Structures are given as C-alpha cells and as structure tokens.
C-alpha cells in the first residue's frame, strides 16, 4: 500500500523554519513502512541559502531574513504567492536515484505548464524549470537515509522584487518569471492542484490521500 500511496498535505501559509524542522523530523523518524508525502505550502518572505551557498550571491537582503539550510544549491527566495512543494519520498523504495527524482519533479512542472500552452523546459546543468531562458521554478533537495526532503518553488503570483536582492540560484542576472505573466495557473491553489496530478502520475502513485495541515505524527 505505502509504495503506491501518496499523502498530500496542504499547509497553507506557514513559517519556513517550522516546516523545515518538521521535514527533518519526518525524515529522521520514518521507517520502511512510512508513507511518502507531498507538502504544499506558502512561506512569508525569506531567503534560504543552500549548503554550497556563497555569501556574495546575497546582494542586499534588507529586512528579509536569510536562513542557512541543509539542502543543495545556492540562495533562493520564498514569499507569498509562490507554491512551495516538498516531496518526502523514499527513493530507495521506489528504486530511483536522485537524478531521476529531479527529472521527475522538473517534468511534472513542465507538463503542468503544457496544459496552459506554456512551453517550459529543464536544463541539464542548472536544475529548475525555465521559459524563454527565464526561471519559473527553483529546485533544491536533500537526501537522507534514502529519502528526500526540501523540494521545489514555483513562482505563481507574487512580488518578484526580492529576487533582485540576490543572484538567484547563484546566477548573476538570471531573470525570474512567474506563472501569472505566462498565462499559466493564476493562483497557488490552482497550481498546487495541477502539480499534484502530474507529480503523482510521474512517480507512479495510484492512490492519493489528502490532508489539511500537519499532525504530530504526519500520518
């Protein structure tokens, strides 16, 4: 049952640190029978700096906090109007590697945008999803005990100006774009609904169980 079932949790608007620590707790305490989960959330404004992050890519954070985190990648921005999705996946049980998980996540976003006639694509040398060389989704994962946490951030309908305070994902001058500009999903809820469908299909989940919020056990 657990191999083909995905628990989808809708967290609404939640503080970054509390969700990050909940992801760590779930990953550290899960066992071979623990279900895979996909957490959908919006965060208040925050910059997160990955393990390989270099301080020179944080140009002018101003009043937005910067948090050092344990995912891969460089600095990115989270804020209201952005869909953040955290796949807590036992990739060992699914018999896939990290590269395949990244590809499946990227393809899920590409396919979701295809439904809006938006031509998006991934890049082999720069994880994420792009439209006309502008980045619409960022990606950063961590694998522990054969299980993933952290995930993706899809720009939907947000204030994009904080991206100018950093070199997004470590690339100076990288232009960011959002779904609303592209004619894609217009709300975080709409984007989440569409992404759940493409993600669950690509990862081969047959059953979806939907939850509102986090419980203490996350079950």
**Which residues participate in catalysis according to the annotation?**
169
Residue 103, class by beta-carbon neighbours within 10 Å (0-12 exposed, 13-18 middle, 19+ buried)?
middle
Among 148, 149, 153, 191, CA closest to 169: 153
Residue 201, class by beta-carbon neighbours within 10 Å (0-12 exposed, 13-18 middle, 19+ buried)?
middle
């Amino acid at each position: 049952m657990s191999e083909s079932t995905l628990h989808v949790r809708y967290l609404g608007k939640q503080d970054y640190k509390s969700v990050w620590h909940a992801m760590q707790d779930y990953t550290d305490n899960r066992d071979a029978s623990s279900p895979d989960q996909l957490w959908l959330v919006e965060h208040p404004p925050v910059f997160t700096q990955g393990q390989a992050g270099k301080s020179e890519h944080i140009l002018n954070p101003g009043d937005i906090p910067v948090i050092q985190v344990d995912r891969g990648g460089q600095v990115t921005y989270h804020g209201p109007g952005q869909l953040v999705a955290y796949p807590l996946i036992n990739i060992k049980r699914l018999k896939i590697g990290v590269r395949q998980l990244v590809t499946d996540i990227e393809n899920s976003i590409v396919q979701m945008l295809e439904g809006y006639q938006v031509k998006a694509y991934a890049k082999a040398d720069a994880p994420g999803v792009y439209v006309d060389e502008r980045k619409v989704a960022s990606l950063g994962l961590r694998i522990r005990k054969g299980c993933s946490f952290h995930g993706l951030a899809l720009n939907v309908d947000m204030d994009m100006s904080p991206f100018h305070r950093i070199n997004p994902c470590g690339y100076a001058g990288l232009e960011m774009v959002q779904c609303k500009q592209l004619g894609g999903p217009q709300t975080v809820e709409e984007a989440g609904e569409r992404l759940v469908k493409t993600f669950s299909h690509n990862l081969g989940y047959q059953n979806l169980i939907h939850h509102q919020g986090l419980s203490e056990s996350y079950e």
